[in-house]
């Protein structure tokens, strides 16, 4: 990591800051960290994190290589999610009244789009990138005050996620399946973007997602006005919702699947799956889309009144256990977010600038990766 930082002073302050993140302490703001590790150099540490300009990319490349060495492989998963940092006031970069998963409702917070590599229930974070609401990107003066780079424009969370996935894929990080919750999975462009990269994915969707059976056919376009040929082919059937499709399998379709050993024994739940063609092709009329690719529709029944729905482009030959195990692999990402906040102070940063927040987030990920390295080494030695 030190070589990637380049500047001699950065190679001094970065290890101290990471040390401060790891050491015990109730608050891990820049000032409190400096008090613990370099009380006479508070100003320099603050400048290094919040004000200095240094390129994240070389440091991220080292982090990704280390993460791949620890948990990368064909049996690893790449989890896309976002995590919120609760804030007061309007000055912190990217802050807005938006959904906060930490409390399950909207709140004043920053939202970071995250990528996490995991294998055998061991997560290592790869990327934390700030989502900038349109209320920010449409206000040049506000962007300037927070030192946001001039090339930053509004992007949805799923667009940010696809860009970050492309970067780690290009860097050679190894993983088998990309996982994401319904906040990303409901977007057809997101799913299609992953497919265009040649990636295997399993993502959450809404029960109202429309789809066709795999036997659907496209007929000749219906004629338009007299003398005008029809523009679009006509599906041989009407699409139905994910909820209706699973219900059509009948109650016996649900099977109990155990996916991993927990602290209280095997963890299991009921699942059902079927092949479908998602109604996410060309929109031929308002709300009506042509059939898209053939994929798996998976339903998880956690209780009689709690059913979750997913889509996956895993191979046709995949077993129900394979589908279920991949879907349930997403929980380690949430565990990683929680540990970075509770143990390392991810949400303790008090600066307001774009660069400061991303520096703090990257150094927090490095600290977490180091702790995971120690845990894996202890496990191997024991």
Mapping DSSP onto H, E and C, the string for the chain reads CHHHHCCHHHHHHHHHHHHHHHCCCCCCCHHHHHHHHCCCCHHHHHHHHHHCCCCHHHHHHHHHHHHHHHHCCCCCEEEEEEEEEECCCCCCCCCEEEEECCCCEEEEEEEEEEEEEEECCEEEEEEEEEECCHHHHCCHHHHHHCCCCCCCCCCCHHHHHHHHHHHHHHCCCCCCEEEECHHHHCCHHHHHHHHHCCCCEEEEECCCCEEECCCCCEECCCCCCCCCCCCCCEECCCCEEHHHHHHCCCHHHCEEEEEEEECCEEEEEEEEEEEEEECCCCEEECCEECCCCEEEEEEEEEECCEEEEEEECCCCCCCHHHHHHHHHHHHHHHHHHHHHHHCCCHHHCCCCCHHHHHHHHHHHHHHHHHHHHHHHHHHHHC
What confidence score (pLDDT) does residue 284 get? 82
pTM, two decimals, is 0.94
* Mean pLDDT over each residue of the chain, to the nearest integer: 93
How far is 91 from 144, CA to CA, in rounded Å?
11
What confidence score (pLDDT) does residue 259 get? 81
What confidence score (pLDDT) does residue 7 get? 82
Task: Tell me the per-residue pLDDT of 207-234, one tens digit each, with 9 for 90 and over.
Answer: 999 999 999 998 877 665 665 666 778 8
Task: Tell me the per-residue pLDDT of 303-338, one tens digit each, with 9 for 90 and over.
Answer: 988 999 999 999 999 999 999 999 999 989 999 999
């Amino acid at each position: 990591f030190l070589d990637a930082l380049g500047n001699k002073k950065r190679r001094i302050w970065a290890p101290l800051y990471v040390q401060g993140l790891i050491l015990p302490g109730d608050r891990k703001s820049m000032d409190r960290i400096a008090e613990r590790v370099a009380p006479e150099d508070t100003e320099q540490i603050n400048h290094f994190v919040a004000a200095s300009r240094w390129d994240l990319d070389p440091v991220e490349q080292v982090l990704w290589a280390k993460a791949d060495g620890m948990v990368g492989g064909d049996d690893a998963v790449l989890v896309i999610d976002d995590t919120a940092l609760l804030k007061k006031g309007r000055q912190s970069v990217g802050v807005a009244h938006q959904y906060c998963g930490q409390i399950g409702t909207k709140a004043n917070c920053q939202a970071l789009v995250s990528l996490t590599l995991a294998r055998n229930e061991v997560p290592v974070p790869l990327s934390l990138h700030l989502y900038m609401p349109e209320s920010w990107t449409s206000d040049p003066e506000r962007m300037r005050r927070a030192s946001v780079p001039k090339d930053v424009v509004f992007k949805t969370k799923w667009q940010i996620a696809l860009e970050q996935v492309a970067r780690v894929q290009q860097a050679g990080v190894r993983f088998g399946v990309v996982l994401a919750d319904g906040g990303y999975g409901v977007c057809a462009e997101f799913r299609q973007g992953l497919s265009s990269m040649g990636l295997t994915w399993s993502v959450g969707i809404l029960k109202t997602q429309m789809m066709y059976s795999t036997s659907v056919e496209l007929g000749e376009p219906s004629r338009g006005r007299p003398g005008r040929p029809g523009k679009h082919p006509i599906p041989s059937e009407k699409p139905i919702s994910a909820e209706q499709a699973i219900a059509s399998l009948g109650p016996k379709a649900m099977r109990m699947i155990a996916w991993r050993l927990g602290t209280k024994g095997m963890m299991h739940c009921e699942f059902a799956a079927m092949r479908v063609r998602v109604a996410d092709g060309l929109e031929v009329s308002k709300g009506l889309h042509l059939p898209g690719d053939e994929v798996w529709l998976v339903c998880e029944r956690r209780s009689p009144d709690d059913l979750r729905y997913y889509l996956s482009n895993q191979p046709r030959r995949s077993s129900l256990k394979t589908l279920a195990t991949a879907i349930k692999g997403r929980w380690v990402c949430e565990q990683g977010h929680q540990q970075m906040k509770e143990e390392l102070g991810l949400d303790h940063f008090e600066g307001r600038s774009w660069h400061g927040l991303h520096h703090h987030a990257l150094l927090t990920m490095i600290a977490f990766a180091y702790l995971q390295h120690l845990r894996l080494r202890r496990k191997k030695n024991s």
